[in-house]
Structure 1
Amino acid sequence: MAKVAFIGLGVMGYPMAGHLVKNGHDVTVYNRTTAKAEAWAAEYGASFATTPEKAAKDCEYVFICVGNDDDVREVSVGSEGALASMSKGSILVDHTTASASLARDLAKAASERGIGFIDAPVSGGQAGAENGVLTVMCGGEEKYFAAVEPVIDSYAQSCKLLGSTGAGQLAKMVNQICIAGLVQGLSEGVHFAQKAGLDIPLLIDVISKGAAGSWQMENRATNMGDGKFDYGFAVNWMRKDLGICMDEAKSNGASLPVTALVDQFYADVQKAGGGRWDTSSLLTRLK
């Protein structure tokens, strides 16, 4: 059993923190909306704190899962951030999808205090978080990863160290780049199938077993055919992620023409009022 803090109780963080309790860890949570932290603590019989600094005090591990780079900075190095109270030898883990440059900044800030750092963005969506089967992509020093991996396993089916600090965030960028192209292709396929009068569930049952198969196809295509988009990973968040990818590409010289195009397609969905729709709502702009 480890004493841990979990900062950020969104659709991902709420169940992730719950899995830590279920696996026997002593958990204190913090959330910007205190009422949500109180509700989580009541549901899981654990503790909550009113600031990240208070949540992190005396913890061996502190996990962050918030919205963007600015949110991470606020809860980690802000005036009441977690690093202010973390003990020497403890480890800070950031599950937020953020920039690689932020990961390096946090690693430096943590190191100056004798604290370890791992950037560890996740993939698997809300369902993966709720079922404890997330994929976690990590960057940082081997000794810190080895220490924290058994705790992360509370909500992960796969947790890998991919390189030095920032490698986890770079891997998540690759993940999002691939998803962007896949979802656009899937949207066009479903659109074509509808125009051709095919039975979408039957079609997906067949082609998902072949070379066209993907997680997106198996988990999104049928709902796309039914026009259901009020769930899942929001377009607003995907555009944030793709923005990070394209900013990084400017730095490393990568060419991302399809990613840039799909990002603009998502902008069309936002303009149509679909900012909180699932990313599979790309289909709507084809109709």
Structure 2
Amino acid sequence: MKPRTTTVGLAGLGNLGLPMAHALLDDGWPLTVFDQRPEKARSCIDAGAKNASTADELAAVDVLVLVVPDDSAVESILLSEQGYFANSSNGTVIVHSTILPASARALASSAKKHGTRFIDAPVSGGSARAREGDLTVFVGAEREDFESVEDLLCAVGSEVLLAGGPGAGAATKLANQMMMFSALAGAYEALHVAEKYGVSPEMVLKSVATSTGASWVAAHWGFFDETAAAYSSSGTPVGDRPWSKDLFEFIEAARTAESSVPFAGLLSQLLPGYVESHARDAAAGKATGHDRKDDHD
């Protein structure tokens, strides 16, 4: 599969899907896009993409790329009577959505019955890196299937890692989310307490940058405020945002694997409120021209 000759359909033009679509266009892939909100496709069409009025119209493409919100959205596009599995011929599906490992395995099995390649390939890095084709891609697939789409995956990711068979990509992504969100919750609480003693968040973040408390979260402070604002602008419900959805999916994956994750359970109850309240305070501070203090009491 190569640019300019392999047709690609992309469904889901949200916070990650839209910049990923532009990265694919920049790399020369013939692209057809679809989103439930047709206005989201405008910039892609202006850049040379075709527009599909329904997801069913993507059945004719060589590779279907899904960047839709969750398992049910993925399954509705792939498994319905009008879906991709039933109506494509010798096609390939790449799922960049964060879904459950068990769902990825089941979809891979269904794909095989239909003669379709299935690539479980969730991503990490945020919208800015997505636009530059600089994401990390966690891949779960048979090696032959992975190698068939490696050039396409490299158009959206600078680090493309084959973690194992179908479901391994999803499991690796959920592990990443759990580790990142653990650091994020700790950072919110740490900054809040330090500020009670007169130490500014900026000073704490500068101090930990070269200390044992260093983390991606601390080095990119403000990332989740901006991401939450983008989700709010696009009308994404709080329950569908990663700090809610992905944590609950991690817990569900652990339950399926009969593994106890008590800290994840606590984190899933606390973190969404932390992120959303901090993002609201940050937005209010920008609107009034001054920073607002964290408040988790």
Which TM-score tier does this pair reach, normalised by the shorter chain?
Answer: 0.7 to 0.9
Match of 1:9 in 2: 13
Pair 1:134–1:20, CA change in 2 (3 A): same
Partners of 2:31 and 2:278 lie apart in 1 by: 30
Is 2:117 the counterpart of 1:116? yes
What aligned pairs does 1:124-203 form with structure 2 within 5 A after superposition? 124-203=125-204
Matching residue within 209, 231, 234 for 2:229: 231
Q: Give CA-to-partner distance per residue, 1:188-223, whole Å, 9 cap, x none.
A: 121122112123324322311232111111112x67
Match of 2:49 in 1: 46
Residue identity matched to 2:229: Y
Q: How many residues align?
A: 276
Pair 1:211–1:232, CA change in 2 (3 A): farther
What aligned pairs does 1:78-93 form with structure 2 within 5 A after superposition? 78-88=80-90, 90-93=91-94
> How far 1:34 sits from its partner (Å)?
2.0
> How far 1:143 sits from its partner (Å)?
0.6
Is 2:296 the counterpart of 1:286? yes
Pair 1:112–1:249, CA change in 2 (3 A): same
Match of 1:249 in 2: 254
Partners of 1:20 and 1:223 lie apart in 2 by: 24
Which stretches in structure 1 are left out of the alignment for 5+ residues?
none
Q: TM-score, normalised by structure 1?
A: 0.87
Partners of 2:208 and 2:145 lie apart in 1 by: 42
Q: TM-score, normalised by structure 2?
A: 0.84
> How far 1:75 sits from its partner (Å)?
1.4
Partners of 1:285 and 1:187 lie apart in 2 by: 9
Is 2:49 the counterpart of 1:55? no
Partners of 2:172 and 2:95 lie apart in 1 by: 14
Partners of 2:216 and 2:160 lie apart in 1 by: 18
Q: Give CA-to-partner distance per residue, 1:150-191, whole Å, 9 cap, x none.
A: 111112121111011100111111111112211111111211
Which stretches in structure 2 are left out of the alignment for 5+ residues?
233-237, 284-292
> How far 1:233 sits from its partner (Å)?
6.9
Q: Verify the 8 A CA contact 2:102 2:253 in the aligned structure 1.
A: no
Pair 1:180–1:101, CA change in 2 (3 A): same
Partners of 2:265 and 2:51 lie apart in 1 by: 41
The percentage of counterpart residues that share the same residue type is 28
User: RMSD across aligned C-alpha pairs, in angstroms?
Assistant: 2.7
- Farther-moved stretch of structure 1 (235-244 vs 100-109): 235-244
* SS of equivalent to 1:231: helix
- Farther-moved stretch of structure 1 (106-115 vs 199-208): 199-208
> How far 1:239 sits from its partner (Å)?
1.4
